[in-house]
Amino acid sequence: MAVQTSPATQQSAVLVSTDWVAQHLTDPAIRIVEVDVDTKAYGEGHVPNAVGWAWDTQLCDTVRRDIIPKAKFEQLMGQSGIDNTTTVILYGDNNNWFAAWALWQLKIYGHKDVRLMNGGRKKWIAESRELSTDTPKAATKSYQAKDPDYSIRAFLPDVQKASAERSAQLVDVRSPQEYSGEILAPPGLPETCQRGGHIPGAKSIPWGKACNEDGTFKSIEELRALYGGSGITGEKPVVAYCRIGERSSHTWFVLKYLLNYKNVRNYDGSWTEWGNLVAAPVEKP
């Protein structure tokens, strides 16, 4: 069994509260960034001094399907006033779906200190905290990304092997209706597929089960019971997937940083890759 450090210690390094953010709004060592599913949300009002990133144009390769290229990532970080020593605080709507997606990419490119605001945009608004519509003018900084660390990213061959040989545990974090194949995509989300169902061998643990009603993460004990109850204990490699990789980033974050599992990867190809793949095996309950 892998040696694990205290989850509480890990949690403090990757999660901050809304109170903490409110006390650090003008801290020059910190850059707050909002990343939403709804890319218009930032403009309607955001945490003061936060910059906004659009997941569909700024956090991806806009030509081929891929994460943001290294050079563009460096440019985005620098233009956002972020250098290699900046503490980046990410938050967003839908309980931090795409904030977690952004965090995953920052980790791929080796950013040292990046954290989520626990509860995301929802909690900030529910607590009646100030919203700004001003876009902060960040002084451009120099940023050097590391070569991508793909030990936290699963590609199709990895997942095919995991499914066929059970060499890693697959966690399907979509809704039960997507897992069963009853629907191909949730209402309101356009990216879909040709077949419904799930990757053979995958366990269904919807991402939202890791959250409290206020959008914050459940306690370490509750999370351990949630995943452990389905046999996801961290003793074997884990691959999380959803539809396009953002909900699974959320679960990846939980497993990697809250439960401190050592070998966890996010399969960002997810169901929009697998469910469109000719001759791919599909399991349906």
Partner 1 sequence: MPKPEEYSERKGELAGWAINIVTYRLGATYHTTIDNTDPGAWVVKAEAATKQDAEAKAMKEAQALLEKVKKSKPPTGCTSVPGF
As a whole number of angstroms, the distance between CA 268 and CA 20 comes to 31
> Residue 51's closest CA among 24, 91, 22?
91
CB of 174 to partner 1, least distance (A): 6
Do the Cβ atoms of 59 and 102 come closer than 8 Å? Answer: yes
Q: Characterize the bridge pairing of strands 87-91 and 114-117.
A: parallel
Residue number, 69 or 181, with CB nearest to partner 1: 181
CA Rg value for the chain = 18
As a whole number of angstroms, the distance between CA 163 and CA 281 comes to 9
Amino acid in the structure at residue 230: S
Catalytic residues: 242
CB of 140 to partner 1, least distance (A): 25
CB of 8 to partner 1, least distance (A): 27
Residue number, 48 or 201, with CB nearest to partner 1: 48
As a whole number of angstroms, the distance between CA 82 and CA 73 comes to 11
| Residue ranges that bind partner 1, judged by CB under 8 A | 37-38, 44-45, 48, 93-95, 122, 125-126, 128-132, 174-178, 181-190, 192-197, 206-208, 247
Residue number, 126 or 164, with CB nearest to partner 1: 126
Residue number, 2 or 189, with CB nearest to partner 1: 189
The encoded tokens of residue 24 equal: 């650090």
As a whole number of angstroms, the distance between CA 39 and CA 92 comes to 10
CB of 58 to partner 1, least distance (A): 20
